[in-house]
């Protein structure tokens, strides 16, 4: 079924809004750090406030039955426990990185993510990689190697973010639960640990939530900044072609890249060349996706023609 023009525009705006919010998220987490919260305290608030917002989302989407089914099925619950560990690692590393002058490395990680998805698809699901895909992966690998030379070390932050999120995507693909229900279960698993950590932190006089209205405001924002983009994404993904989603996913790391450069992170000529290879790999990836979609559309049109 083809979406109407107004619905298509609304879906495009929702998808774009999702990736813009993800790209701007460093500007939400950095004030939390300025207020005195470290990555562990921010993650505690992200788990607790995320659960509250995820609860509202599940009730609004009427997916409580899916949540019950997830807990009733040991296999599904096991996958969600594993995905929770991966997304907690991803979130925690991202929060630490943007508060410690590594926003450019987070940008590199999320540029690499779709290329890692392609490689994992070939490895785990025996999906065929086209020549363009191999070229894109080779260009990205060159970019990572140059980034390692520029930094004097492997870009561990970038690689960990890319691998953890790609693995998270693979696991969530296997789980029989929609995005909202799955996120609720993940937040529910994380929330007791987050709440326990926050209680202990404040008992030691180290928590900053009650220090000022400013600190409380920014830490409470961890909830909507976690759940809000997912609402937009899940709504848009059901209404947009995968090719469009493929193009939009590069919006977030581009915004993060601009934030990192504008905040004065070190950006040498060699680092610029490394990003150039990554961008070229992304361009090849997008061109291949557009070409596949164009050929598929032509095939459908030819089949629809009267004989």
**Residue-wise pLDDT tens digits, 184-216:** 999 999 999 999 999 999 999 888 999 999 999
Tokens 């928590």 belong to which residue? Answer: 207
- Does position 101 have pLDDT exceeding 90, yes or no? yes
Choose between 84 and 141: higher pLDDT.
84
User: From CA 271, how far away is CA 88, in angstroms rounded?
Assistant: 28
Q: What is the mean pLDDT of the chain?
A: 85
For the chain, the residue count is 307
The more confidently predicted of residues 8 and 199 is: 199
- Of all residues in the chain, what percent carry a pLDDT higher than 70? 91
User: 10 Å Cβ neighbour count for 261?
Assistant: 16
At 1 the pLDDT is 43
Question: What domain range includes position 140?
Answer: 5-304
Residue 100 predicted with pLDDT over 80:
yes
- Cα distance between residue 276 and residue 268, in whole Å: 12
Distance of alpha carbon 157 from alpha carbon 154, whole angstroms:
9
DSSP three-state, residue 157: helix
Mean pLDDT over residues 29-47, rounded?
A: 94
90-94, 194-198, 289-293, range with the lowest pLDDT? 289-293
Q: Is the pLDDT of residue 259 over 90?
A: yes
Q: Report the percentage of the chain scoring pLDDT > 90.
A: 40
For residue 250, what pLDDT is reported?
Answer: 84
Region 105-120: mean pLDDT is 82
- For residue 11, what pLDDT is reported? 81
Angle of helix 74-98 versus helix 179-203 axis, rounded to 10: 60
Q: 246 versus 11: which is more confidently predicted?
A: 11
Residue 249's pLDDT band (cuts 50, 70, 90): confident
pLDDT, one tens digit per residue, over 262-275 is 999 988 889 899 88
CA 213 vs. chain centroid, Å, equals 29
DSSP secondary structure, 219-261, as one string = HHTHHHHHHHHHHHHHHHHTTS-HHHHHHHTTHHHHHHHHHHH
The more confidently predicted of residues 301 and 105 is 105
* pLDDT score of 246: 67
- Average pLDDT over every residue of 102-117: 86
Residue 16 pLDDT greater than 70, yes or no:
yes
Q: How many domains is the chain built from?
A: 1
> What is the model's pLDDT at position 127?
67
Least confident of 70-74, 173-177, 193-197, 237-241: 237-241
pTM: 0.84
């Amino acid at each position: 079924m083809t979406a109407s023009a107004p619905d298509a525009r609304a879906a495009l705006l929702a998808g774009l809004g999702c990736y813009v919010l993800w790209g701007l998220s460093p500007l939400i987490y950095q004030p939390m750090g300025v207020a005195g919260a470290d990555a562990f305290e921010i993650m505690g608030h992200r788990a607790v406030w995320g659960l509250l917002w995820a609860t509202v989302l599940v009730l609004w989407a009427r997916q409580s039955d899916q949540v019950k089914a997830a807990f009733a099925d040991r296999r599904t619950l096991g996958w969600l426990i594993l995905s929770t560990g991966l997304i907690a690692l991803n979130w925690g590393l991202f929060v630490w990185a943007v508060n410690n002058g590594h926003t450019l490395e987070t940008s590199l990680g999320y540029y690499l993510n779709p290329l890692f998805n392609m490689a994992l698809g070939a490895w785990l699901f025996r999906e065929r990689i086209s020549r363009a895909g191999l070229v894109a992966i080779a260009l990205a690998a060159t970019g990572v190697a140059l980034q390692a030379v520029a930094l004097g070390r492997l870009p561990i932050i970038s690689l960990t973010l890319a691998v953890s999120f790609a693995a998270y995507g693979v696991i969530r693909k296997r789980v029989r639960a929609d995005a909202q229900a799955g996120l609720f279960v993940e937040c529910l698993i994380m929330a007791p640990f987050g709440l326990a950590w926050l209680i202990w932190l404040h008992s030691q006089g180290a928590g900053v939530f009650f220090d000022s209205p400013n600190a409380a405001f920014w830490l409470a924002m961890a909830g909507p900044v976690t759940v809000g983009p997912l609402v937009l994404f899940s709504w848009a993904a059901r209404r947009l072609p995968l090719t469009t989603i493929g193009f939009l996913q590069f919006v977030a790391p581009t915004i993060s890249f601009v934030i990192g450069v504008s905040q004065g992170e070190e950006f040498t000529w060699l680092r610029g060349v490394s990003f150039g290879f990554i961008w070229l790999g992304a361009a090849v990836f997008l061109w291949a996706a557009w070409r596949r979609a164009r050929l598929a559309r032509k095939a459908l049109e030819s089949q629809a023609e009267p004989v």
